[in-house]
Structure 1
Amino acid sequence: MGGRKKMSKIKESKGFRVFGRLVGRQESIAMLYVVIMMVPNVLLTITERYPFSVTLAALLWPAAFYALLMAALRKPGTLMLVSLPLMILGAFQIVLLYLFGGSIIAVDMFTNLFTTNASEAGELLANLWPAVLFVCILYLPLLVLGVRSLCIKERLSGLFRRKLLRTGLGMAFVGLLFTIYAWVKVPDFGIKYQVFPVNVCYNIKLTLERWGLSERYHETSKDFTFHAVKNRQAPGREIYVLVIGEASRADSWSLFGYDRETTPRLEKREGVVPFSNVLTQSNATHKSVPIILSPASAANYDSIYVQKSLITAFKEAGFQTWYLSNQVPNRSLIDFFSEEAERRIDISPREGELYTDNRPDGEMLPSIREIIQQSDSNLLIVLHTYGSHYDYRKRYPQEFARYTPDLISAINKNNRSIMVNAYDNSVYYTDYVLDEIIKVLEGTQACTALFYSSDHGEDMMDDSRVRFLHASPTPTYYQLHVASFGWFSPEYRALYPEKYVAALSHEASPATTAQVFHTITDMASLQSPYINQRYSLVSDSYAPGERLYLNDHNKAVDYRKAGLKRLDFEMLHKRGMDSDSAVRNALNDPKVR
């Protein structure tokens, strides 16, 4: 027995000595650096399923880069510590791959860093601990070894550095050959699109350019006017409410056929018209909400920096305007549009606070009642809710926990039923809040109407891809298909029967969030060169044309070519949203996987 213990100790001591020699040699540290820095590249070639030529180019160029840099130095520790920004990008990339299952760090991802408050980030990261733990184990020891490399006397030998130089040059040459081949044979190939970290650095550049455009918004839009007028007036006052939902997908509303009764109140409400075929034009809040609020769309998105929002159109037509928000201000276009209102109310505490815990959306209700009671003017009230944004369990008071258990301990497939319970509870609470708003409007006995649209949908690990959340570089059916409906009071239906009838006729008509601006302004009988009745769901001349999606590089693409997979087309077909032949063709195309 004692002999076995002795042998075990000898083996352990030998193992430690071997490990010590490995981490104590500059050559071993240098090779470990190259291997670890290539981890994001290897993962991306697996998740993105690049063609063979693109895969080799995406692997050989960065490997050659790291090898040649290492060959130029006597101690690898210098490069390792200088590479800290690249390690941070690599860690970010790996966490996003864990979250979304694919795609590089997108422009919208970096923009989200600027526009997301600390509480949102904390809620998400707390449930991404497996990925966070992995990148810590991967990169922190590398930094320690970098310091060790600088402390030990040994340097990289000339022979080793010459081998690295030859290897790096060889990989660069072969990478160049495959790059040339990919440029000729692969559509849309580019080093700035497929080679990490070049593609991420390019996206950082685009992010800064867009942020600069947003920061200059007040200057570029200061002379804009809608020339809006109201061409029909009710005998009394009129009140219009636009509610912007957050991450509320149509598939989780029983109003649109979900088998759980998540929206019982709205289903019983007279005057509710559900629009069951609405797709978002962007799966990122900082782009989708401005599209909802303005005449800009995916087709002409750059015009958003010189135009104002529907709030100004209503002001020009004589309406008193209010903006109520459960979002933390973040210096985005959403904030700039909200500043056009005569009064903005933020219900979440925020002043001087980095960490803000958003309150339930129902806490906006007292402000709505007060606004309506204190004014006898025509009113526009815009509400930007927090809806069904993750962490779902924090979006509703516990008395609305209809489905349990709902406490999410970690984001993974095993916990999906719990996540669905929490998400469905958030929709159930949204149903309550919207119904309460309608009660307030009904009580005025004025000519009133409400329009609701979510900014985008949400993935809930619905299929074999195990996708989660939203704002991924490529969308899914669940992120595209949003909840949207209109409500029209008895007084409105009596005064504007043709608009209500038109809305009923377009319940299943194809639409996008770009139609919201034209619909809400047409509901209020506003006229402007920027308001087009062909895009209004309450107009009998409605004819929206093709449905576009604004991709990560702000290019308008047909939504079916925005990165959708076979599973997405199957859902479009299942929900009866495949009236166009392109969806059916995609299902019959063996190349669509």
Structure 2
Amino acid sequence: MHQILGAAGLVALVAVFTVHGYEGRRIGQVLLLFAPAVLGLLWPVRNTLWHRLRQALAWVWTLIFLVDGAVRGLLADLYGAAPDSSLVLGAIANSNPRESGEYLHAVWRSVLVWVLALIGSGAAAWWLVRWAGLANSARWPKSVVMALCVALLLVSLGYASKPWRRHHPIAFWTQWMFSIQQLQQGLANQQARREAALARAHALAPTVQVAGHSTVVLVIADSINRDNMSIYGYKRATTPHLASQLRGLDGEMLMLRNAWSVDASTLPALGNIFGFGQPDAQDAQHLLAVARAAGYKVWWISNHDDLGIEQQHARVADIQDFANRQPGRTSSSLDGELLDNLQRALADATPQKLIVVHLLGAHPHYRLRFPAGQNPFDDESDAVDQQLQTQGRPSWVRRFRHDYDAALLYHDFVVSETLALTRNARSVDGYAAWVYMSDHGQEVGHGRNHAGHSPLSASGYRIPMLLWSNQPSWQKDQGIATRPFRADWAAWTLANVMRLTWPGQTMSNDVLSEAYVWSKPQLPIVVDSFER
């Protein structure tokens, strides 16, 4: 009887981890794939050597399933994502060992919980394996042996099914590593894709409908949630410079109040922004390639050191200017370092210029996104901190919120300076425009006890978007400011701002157009309203 109880305990232990890592009928399938370990322990064995060998194999087999469930559970808790999701695959393929270590440092609390659970469960599994696998000095009754044979037959059917078999941890993680290698090779070999994108752009035959000089600056931030910007109603004064710009340039500036990303991480977000919402389509266009084909000289000025971004987007530009050569989350390169680079690009005599400025924004670690000692929000408790306490947010979340808001305050200065430089450098008779947006949002204790990228809450998708032009094509009385906006449609709006036209161009995705037609994006969360 002790063998049966030990085996049942082993199944229960693995089931706990499996439930955290899988959903629905997949739980039963994975437990069936685990069954050989249990059946091997229950099968009558008299030889002492074989008895010890099967105990060791059963314990290792159990650990494999426990680790699989723990990794899946951790990813589900943090991001609501499976290991083979594009979010996770893209992040792993685009990381280096140093950045991985920095990421683990940022989420060490969650990792520690699962590691401790694994250590305790591993010890319990060894005890259960020894208890269930005690040498059988007597033969099992024929009925028990028949039951074991039937069970082995069912398990064999499960392993014979490829859709089931591929979920075995050994098969899954082997394929997972192969997928990572393929993705990394794809990221490192983008030259052919860039050339194809330029060829497609030239075939589109775009033109610039501007008489004289045209200068457009596109500022893309990282991890900025508009809910933390005072210009969007936040209670802390995190955007005083932009607020001043909005007041002084009322007729030339436009703030979209209901802007959303459809991605919660950078690589897919940028792919959608520049790829007209269909970056993986066979005939996909790239906005920078279209701009070049129309006659724009394109700059990519970046504070990121990122292989994926560089290969997929930056190298499409004519000129790449990377100010930051320190990869990873611990990069201390401040976005203000890009202002001189922007000024040099604006001074270029080229008549048609598109300058993309890619900022680190408020990408974790937040405390590294502003100058040391310049956090005015951690000195005393204010209305925001009191609200967080009322909501039951732990102290570490409140501390991250203080750092995040300080990062936004410095970010406000940098973004405002990019606008001031654009306005001051423009030709008297030329056309000039400036656009500011973020790739995705950030959760910092808004809807859950979490600080960082978040596909599980609306905060991960709320972004700011502001536009300025000395010859604006919009009128505020048209109600454009309150229209909901999707970042995966941004290319159509940016094409409008650059005055790009081409045969067959559609305007229904351009938020500035009278022909704009809104439709809700498919997000992995439920959003009550896209108009707030």
TMscore range, shorter length: 0.7 to 0.9
Q: Deviations over 1:105-151 (max 9, x none)?
A: 45112321122355554444224333322333333466689999999
Alignment counterpart, residue 289 of structure 2, candidates 304, 312, 318: 312
Distance 2:30 2:287 in 1: 48
* Structure 1 portions without partners, runs of 5+: 1-24, 177-189, 550-558, 578-593
Alignment match, 2:44: none
Query: What is the aligned partner in structure 2 of residue 544 from structure 1?
Result: 517
Q: Output aligned runs, 1:384-533, within 5 Å.
A: 384-398=358-372, 400-404=374-378, 413-446=394-427, 447-463=431-447, 465-472=448-455, 475-488=456-469, 492-493=470-471, 497=472, 499-501=473-475, 505-529=479-503, 531-533=505-507
Provide the residue aligned with 1:277 in structure 2. Answer: 258
Of residues 277, 293, 299, the one that matches 1:322 is: 299
Letter matched to residue 314 of structure 2: S
- Whether 2:321 is the aligned partner of 1:345: answer yes
How far apart, CA to CA, are the structure 2 residues paired with 1:86 and 1:486? 52
TM-score by length of 2: 0.77
Sort the Cα spacing of 1:92 and 1:368 in 2 relative to 1 into closer, same or farther, 3 A: same
**Structure 1 CA distance for aligned equivalents of residues 88 and 74 of structure 2:** 12
* 1:224-245 CA-partner distances (Å, limit 9, x unpaired): 322343342243x321111112
**Residue number among 357, 363, 367 corresponding to 1:383 in the alignment:** 357
For the structure 1 residues 380 and 144, does the alpha-carbon distance in structure 2 shift closer, same or farther, using more than 3 Å as the test? Answer: same
Q: Residues 95-134 of structure 1: matches in 2 within 5 Å?
A: 95-100=74-79, 102=80, 104-105=82-83, 107=85, 108-118=87-97, 120-134=99-113
Which residue of structure 2 aligns with residue 42 of structure 1? Answer: 19
Residues 367-417 of structure 1 show CA distances to partners (whole Å, capped at 9, x for unaligned) of 1112222444321111221111122111111354121159xxxx9733332
Counterpart AA for 2:216: Y
- The equivalent residue for 2:30 is 62
Match of 2:387 in 1: none
Question: C-alpha distance in 2, partners of 1:40/1:81?
Answer: 15
SS in 2 for 1:533: coil
Distance in 2 between the 1:161 and 1:524 partners?
80
Residue number in structure 2 paired with 1:261: 237
Question: TM-score normalized by structure 1?
Answer: 0.70
Structural RMSD (CA): 4.2
Conserved 8 A contact 1:280-1:481:
yes
Aligned residues: 487
Q: Is 2:331 aligned against 1:361?
A: no
Equivalent position SS for 1:379? strand
CA–CA distance in 1 between the matches of 2:269 and 2:149? 44
Residue identity matched to 2:410: Y
Structure 2 CA distance for aligned equivalents of residues 398 and 132 of structure 1: 28
Per-residue CA shift, 1:303-334, capped at 9, x if unaligned? 1x6535222122112222111122222236x6
C-alpha contact (below 8 Å) 1:80/1:142 kept by paired residues: no
Q: Do the aligned residues in 2 keep the contact of 1:392 with 1:422 (CA within 8 Å)?
A: yes
Shift in alpha-carbon separation, 1:396–1:171, aligned structure 2, 3 A: farther
Question: How many angstroms apart in 2 are the aligned matches of 1:523 and 1:268?
Answer: 23
Paired with 2:238 and 2:139, the residues of 1 have a C-alpha distance of 66
Question: Would you say the 8 A contact 2:37–2:62 is kept in 1?
Answer: no
1:177-196, Cα deviation, whole Å (9 max, x unpaired) = xxxxxxxxxxxxx9799x89
Structure 2: distance between partners of 1:445 and 1:122: 44
Mapped to 2, the partners of 1:284 and 1:80 lie a distance apart of: 38
Q: Any residues of structure 2 matched to 1:156-235 within 5 Å, and which?
A: 157=136, 166=147, 204=176, 217-220=190-193, 222-223=195-196, 224-226=199-201, 227-235=204-212
